Chains A and B, each alone.
Chain A
Amino acid sequence: MNNVQNKKRANKSRSPFFFTDSFKVLSLIIIISSILLIVTFTFDIVPPILNRGIQPATFPKALLVLIICLTLVVYILSIKFPWKKEKKLPKPFYITLYNFILFIIIAKTLDFFLAISVLSFLISYFWGERRIKALLLVSILFPIIVFVVFETILGLRFPPGIITNIYYK
């Protein structure tokens, strides 16, 4: 009897369907796929004489329709078999993501090497590393080694920037 009551209570306390992970994730997939499907209608149409088999837009269209249909199936199944609730993402995850944005900004505006160096330092620091020598190893020594190896072995030329320009003189 108690079990039945508990179950009823659990059902009542279940979040509304639009708050569930499955609804949010699958809706996002459907929305993005639908936008891309609309984009396929803007692709150029090839005149019949040049067209080989099917139009260039047909194959991506078919794929997107397939993705939308399969996503709907997953959603219907998720009503019967709900997804397990994922834990909230911890702070270091968001810090790592913000660091990626910072990396892009520094690499675009200042210097590619500096961006790697800063990101390595910040991630290592925010993940809990406090030893100065370890931080220097990760943020300065290792990126230098990687740069030199890629430059000498692969003959790679890194994009210009405030530090890279000094290196390339």
Chain B
Amino acid sequence: MENLYLMMAPLFSTKLLLVLFFGTLFGLILGVLPGLGPTTGGALILPFTMTLDPLSAIVLLTSIYCAGTYGGAITAILINTPGTPAAAATCLDGYPLAQKGEAGRALGMATVSSTIGGVFSVVVLVFFAPLLAQLAYEFGQPEYFALAIFGLTMLASIGDGNPIKNLIAGAFGILISTIGKDFMTSIDRFTFGINELSEGIGFIPVVVGLFAISEMLTQSTLLDQVFKRVALKAIKLPSIDDYKKTWKTILRSSGIGSFIGVLPAEGGTVASLIGYAEAKRWSKKPEEFGKGSIEGIAGAEAANNAATGGAMVPTLALGIPGSATTAVILTGLIIHGVRPGPDLFREQPEFLYGIFGSMLIANIMFFVFGFFGAKIFARITLVSNKLLWPMIFAVSVCGTYSLNQSLIDVWIMLLFGIIGFFMRRYGFSLVPVIIGLILGELVEGTLRQSLVIFEGNWLMFLTRPIALTFFILSLIALAFPLLKRKKIKND
């Protein structure tokens, strides 16, 4: 009961409601704009959060996360271009349905299923995050090392990329985290005599470079692309018949999305693809999928929004990001001096339940905004890239500079923008780099501390049951994409 009161606390705080309002609005705009999204948006807004108290800062980031994930559906349905990668599966049926003159119905279903998925995932978050945190009390350094390894091996199965390329990208991310003074011995590593690098490479220049600047370079190659935009008269609530057809799909996808979200390093993109595939598998009319099936939209949208709450579970309970955007949120927590983990649940329940409550409110807010403002948000896609990207560049440069007031950070951002562009061009996913960067210090730190505990005996890791379980799960995670590929080949 007390926790429920703590969850509802944001409703009685004008400041938090305002933060939620702007976060949801900003998240929707970011979600609608192809190429941008909650991850880039979160990274761009991170310097501004320094002016807020920790709770308001995280509420801002989480509301951007929830609304941005939904916002991607608007462009997916109207211009057949997912605003966010998580909305890619929504294109498959959303756009064909819009072409049939039912854009309002498609958006209505996307809005309702996203909201239900999002609310469902917050319930999962409220129940499972404390349980996982309880479990984390049993964790020592070896267990955290094994958990981080598990999180990293999950990178292999992210998205539709090549699993080995994903692992290379993850290892690259960890390598970046080793730049600077070694945190145990203060010995310089990869600093090449540049003083500014002694402190290491910041998260913001890397993430803004990899996501915003590399996308800018990508957009420079797509200037001749013409979008066929479907007109939207008004967004419609789904009919009773639509609900009858889709309620099972929405619930199933909400469960799938929440579960996928909880897995370290997975996220909305994978969740929506699996949610969509399962909706097709269980459908009475699978032949309609790809031609404008309302179930297809419901399956994908409920799953990707359900992944938002799910992804927050390992982020808050263990400090292991569940997705790229939660990696940004985790950075926000660290910047504000909040260390995620079991102690957070014991010492700052009002902070945590404030986040849970805010996510719930954000899901309801984007429903209202989406329902009444989809037509306006759809117009944002009309903003020309020729104007939009130079503006994003200005914000990226100032945001990156603002953190340490260092020009080196700006150069690093540009460098990672170019690296990110070529990585994407040749099929290397960017998300593993970010997760590797976030987990790098944890992996190295816990490994070295474990070896101190074990007096250098590596085999001692296998004597710890929880660590051993994570290692076995890691092996399964590594083998899974290879088995999946073999199965597809055999089929």
What residues of chain A have their CB less than 8 Å away from a CB belonging to chain B? 21, 25, 29, 36, 39-40, 43-44, 46, 50-54, 56-57, 59-60, 63-64, 66-67, 70-71, 73-74, 77, 83, 86, 89-90, 92-93, 95-97, 100, 103-104, 107-108, 112, 116, 119-121, 123-124, 127-129, 134, 137-139, 142-143, 146-147, 150, 153-154, 156-159
Contact = CB atoms under 8 A, between A and B. Distances in A.
Contacts of A127: 220, 223, 385-386, 389
A111 B278 CA distance: 55
Contacts of A43: 187-189
B168 to A, nearest CB: 5
8 tightest Cβ-Cβ pairs between the two chains A and B: A53-B451, A53-B448, A120-B390, A129-B386, A56-B182, A127-B386, A96-B220, A92-B220
A134 B383 CA distance: 11
B159 to A, nearest CB: 16
A119 B393 CA distance: 9
Contacts of B405: 156-157, 159
B397 interface: yes
A129 to B, nearest CB: 4
B5 interface: no
Contacts of B184: 52-53, 56
B185 A93 contact: no
A90 B220 contact: yes
B350 interface: no
Interface residues of B, number: 60
Contact of A123 (B51, B185, B393, B402): B393
Given A46-B187, A64-B175, 19 more contacts: A36-B175, A36-B190, A43-B188, A52-B184, A53-B456, A70-B167, A70-B171, A90-B220, A90-B221, A92-B220, A93-B220, A96-B217, A96-B220, A112-B407, A116-B397, A124-B387, A129-B387, A150-B399, A159-B405
A14 B318 CA distance: 50
B417 to A, nearest CB: 8
B169 to A, nearest CB: 10
A52 to B, nearest CB: 5
B216 to A, nearest CB: 7
23 contacts: A29-B168, A44-B188, A46-B187, A52-B184, A53-B452, A54-B448, A56-B187, A60-B175, A63-B175, A67-B171, A86-B426, A90-B221, A93-B217, A93-B220, A100-B417, A123-B389, A124-B390, A129-B386, A142-B390, A156-B398, A156-B402, A156-B405, A159-B407
A128 B362 CA distance: 38
Nearest to A50: B185
Interface string B124-160: 0000000000000000000000000000000000000
A134 B395 CA distance: 17
B402 to A, nearest CB: 5
Interface of B: 47-48, 50-51, 162, 164-165, 167-168, 171-172, 174-175, 178, 182, 184-185, 187-190, 216-217, 220-221, 223, 384-387, 389-391, 393-395, 397-399, 401-402, 405, 407, 410-411, 414, 417-418, 422, 425-427, 444, 447-452, 456
A128 B223 CA distance: 9
Contacts of A139: 390
B238 to A, nearest CB: 39
B218 to A, nearest CB: 9
A112 B401 CA distance: 10
B50 A60 contact: no
Contacts of A159: 405, 407
B407 to A, nearest CB: 6
B387 A134 contact: yes
Contact of B393 (A54, A71, A83, A120): A120
Contacts of A97: 217, 418
B449 A104 contact: no
A92 B397 CA distance: 20
Given A67-B171, A92-B221, A150-B402, A128 B407 contact: no
B452 A56 contact: no
